Amino acid sequence: MDLYIVKYSGPFGFIKPWTAVRDSETFSQQFLTPSIVEGIEKKLFPELLRQEYMGKILKIKRHRLNYQGIDIQQERTWAKGGFSANKEKGIWKTNMGILNRGVMLNPNLYLAFENKEDAEIALTQTICLCRNEDLLFPEEIQQLSNQKLDEIDGFELIFSDAENGFKVGHNRFNNASEMYGMLKVFGNPIRE
């Protein structure tokens, strides 16, 4: 069966690691979790925002992510519970911190759809991975078999269960249920 692959690219991309909220240094995850894929799908196809579709990925069948490198950037954060109350002055934040975060340079994301109509809709829109300032722009549609898709270099998380994969976070679309996957690496995911 052939798939319709939409290629997206942009100058930056960030995927927030789910375990790194308070770490002093983090690198961007190199894979898309089920909730990230579902969020992208719901952005592309807003009709899937209805309650009966929550926790389900219906149109994006596979994906692939590669990039040219990682750039370390600083991000200002507030510690959990870092709020103080003062009746005269209101509420203010305390416990500010600085994190070093890895941001992907020149990421390419390939989304695979079963039908051409869905790919054509996706081709008309921008997406982002986890930060809305890191836009990825559509470039082209390719019709490829699963075997040909496997020839595209990159990372792909194959969604699974606890017995067959490792924990990758909690699904914000499915009552914070645990998400699992098996990371597959195709070729060299770090482009020159």
What tokens appear for 92 in the block?
Answer: 């203010």
CA distance 165 to 86: 47
Count each helix (H run) and each strand (E run) in the chain, helices first. Answer: 3, 14
Q: What is the pTM of this model?
A: 0.88
What domains does the chain contain, in order, with CATH numbers? 2-186 (3.30.70)
CA distance 92 to 114: 50
φ, ψ for residue 103 (rounded to 5)?
-120, 130
Closest C-alpha to 11, from 131, 166, 125? 131
Closest C-alpha to 109, from 146, 134, 72? 134
The per-residue pLDDT string of the chain (192 residues; one tens digit each, 9 = 90 and over) reads 899 999 999 999 988 877 755 555 666 688 999 999 999 999 999 999 999 999 999 999 999 999 999 998 887 776 666 556 665 666 665 667 777 788 999 999 999 999 999 999 999 999 999 888 899 999 999 999 999 999 999 999 999 999 999 999 899 899 999 999 999 999 999 999
First to last CA, the chain: 31
What tokens appear for 127 in the block?
Answer: 């997406």
